[in-house]
Amino acid sequence: MKPIVSVRSLQKNDLPGILRIERKSFDDDAWARDVFLEYASAAPDLFLVARVGARIAGYSIANLARHGAEIASLAVLPRQRRKGVATVLLKATMRRARRAGARTAWLMVRRKNEDAIRLYRQLGFVRVATVANYYGQNAPGWRMKIRL
């Protein structure tokens, strides 16, 4: 059974939970606390937190750009994956981006991240480019895009 997932904008007291998810999800590639503070300041309505019960289960960060919305980061606690948390976050992010005037959204994903690619495709994202070494030497990224 899938859990009930609620989504809301980031609150200041969410940051420790967000940083924990970031470390568990990205290990050595985890963003520093200051990066999250910058996104929270720049686009507070597009920095979303997913909760399952009283606990933070994931987050999504997007920002508006000239040609639409960029989904800059998405992460879910490992024990909450494959339970619909990322889907709920992405749908909420895309709704908010559309309301803010974006007509398209895009993101980057590691070519080897098959689970994420499957999710993005299920939601309607299509690959529009491959970016060599986006994630480092011999680690290409796919740029994926969706019309909102």
Q: Looking at residue 24, which CATH number applies to its domain?
A: 3.40.630.30
Q: How many domains does the chain have?
A: 1
pLDDT at 21 (0 to 100)? 97
In the predicted structure, residue 12 carries a pLDDT above the cut 90: no
Residue 107 has pLDDT above 90, yes or no: yes
Percent of the chain with pLDDT over 70: 99
Tell me the residue range of the domain where 107 lies.
Answer: 5-147
Q: Residue 16: its pLDDT value, please?
A: 96
Q: Residue 112 pLDDT > 80, yes or no?
A: yes
Mean pLDDT score, 108-114: 95
Pairwise pLDDT comparison (125 vs 28), residue with the higher score: 125
* pLDDT score, position 28: 87
Residue range 52-97, pLDDT digits in tens: 999 999 999 999 998 899 999 999 999 999 999 999 999 999 999 9
Q: Give the DSSP letter string of the chain.
A: -PPPEEEEE--GGGHHHHHHHHHHHHGGGPPPHHHHHHHHHH-GGGEEEEEETTEEEEEEEEEEETTEEEEEEEEE-GGGTTTTHHHHHHHHHHHHHHHTT-SEEEEEEETT-HHHHHHHHHHT-EEEEEETTTTSTT--EEEEEEE-
